[in-house]
């Protein structure tokens, strides 16, 4: 005789993501997230959700694969694959998509803090600071140019950079004992190690003014340079600080 056994075996779902976490990509890149089931009876149904409340309109879901064509910074965030089969709790696995970006470049000049006034004069220390918001912050790199040529840290021109994990990233150029030969255009260049996006360049022009010894030397001058560019006028007695942020005088 033959005996047939009827079983009603069920199992809660389990899944696996075939992607890294986080995923760092360039804007405009197509991103595919793959999720597979590794268990569950009856077979679980896979869905995708995003921390941005809803999936991007241009996204395509096919089975357990989510495709994001020409991704933008607005579409960065946490994406989760959810598996459910009405047995136990749904399974959920997540990954974070990071879209590289450089933005909000700004700069400022600091007078020598050991003097009582706010003016910078020949023979004093000048600090030029350059700050940029970067995503991801650990990929941010800075370089300095003077009149278009690479500038390296030395005893009289000291280049420092804040911890790369601190955002926004900041680099400083300390010019010790300012001399007339230091006049020129200093350029701070911010870039990401992964590449794929344009660099941000910030120009600071330090130049001298001329005038009769007995004429007033401290006169405010409003300049209208291109965005992220400013001219600083130095005299033996005065220093004008014109700071621009996103092209606007601050």
Q: Is residue 146 part of a domain?
A: yes
118 and 85 fall within a common domain: no
Residue ending a domain, choose from 33, 64, 99: 99
110 and 184 fall within a common domain: yes
126 and 231 fall within a common domain: yes
Task: Read off the CATH number of the domain in which 241 is found.
Answer: 2.60.40.10
Q: Is residue 1 part of a domain?
A: no
d(CA 200, CA 69): 26
d(CA 49, CA 60): 12
Q: Which domain holds residue 187?
A: 101-249
Taking only the tens place, the pLDDT of each residue in 31-70 is 999 999 999 999 999 999 999 889 999 999 999 999 999 9
Q: Is residue 49 part of a domain?
A: yes
Instruction: State the pLDDT confidence band at 238, using cuts at 50, 70 and 90.
Output: very low
22: helix, strand or coil? coil
pTM for this prediction: 0.74
Q: Is residue 118 part of a domain?
A: yes
Q: What is the mean predicted confidence (pLDDT) over 175-192? A: 94
232 and 116 fall within a common domain: yes
177 and 159 fall within a common domain: yes
**At residue 144, what are phi and psi to the nearest 5 degrees?**
-120, 145
């Amino acid at each position: 005789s033959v005996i047939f056994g009827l079983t009603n075996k069920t199992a809660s779902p389990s899944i696996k993501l075939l992607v890294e976490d986080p995923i760092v990509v360039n804007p405009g890149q197509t991103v595919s997230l793959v999720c597979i089931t590794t268990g569950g009876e009856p077979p679980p149904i896979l869905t995708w959700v995003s921390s941005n409340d809803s999936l991007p309109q241009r996204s395509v879901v096919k089975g357990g694969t989510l495709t994001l064509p020409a991704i933008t910074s607005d579409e960065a965030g946490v994406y989760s694959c959810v598996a459910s089969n009405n047995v136990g709790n749904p399974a959920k696995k997540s990954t974070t998509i990071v879209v590289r970006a450089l933005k909000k470049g700004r700069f400022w000049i600091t007078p020598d803090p050991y003097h009582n006034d706010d003016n910078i004069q020949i023979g004093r220390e000048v600090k030029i600071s350059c700050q940029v918001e970067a995503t991801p912050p650990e990929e941010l790199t800075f370089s300095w140019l003077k009149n278009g040529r690479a500038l390296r840290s030395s005893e009289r021109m000291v280049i420092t950079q804040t911890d790369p994990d601190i955002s926004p990233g900041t680099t400083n150029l300390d010019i010790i004992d300012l001399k007339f030969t230091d006049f020129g255009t200093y350029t701070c260049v911010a870039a990401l190690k992964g590449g794929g996006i344009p660099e941000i360049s910030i120009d600071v022009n330090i130049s001298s003014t001329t005038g009769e010894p007995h004429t007033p030397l401290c006169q405010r001058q409003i300049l209208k340079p291109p965005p992220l560019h400013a001219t600083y006028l130095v005299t033996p007695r005065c220093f004008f600080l014109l700071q621009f942020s996103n092209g606007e005088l601050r």
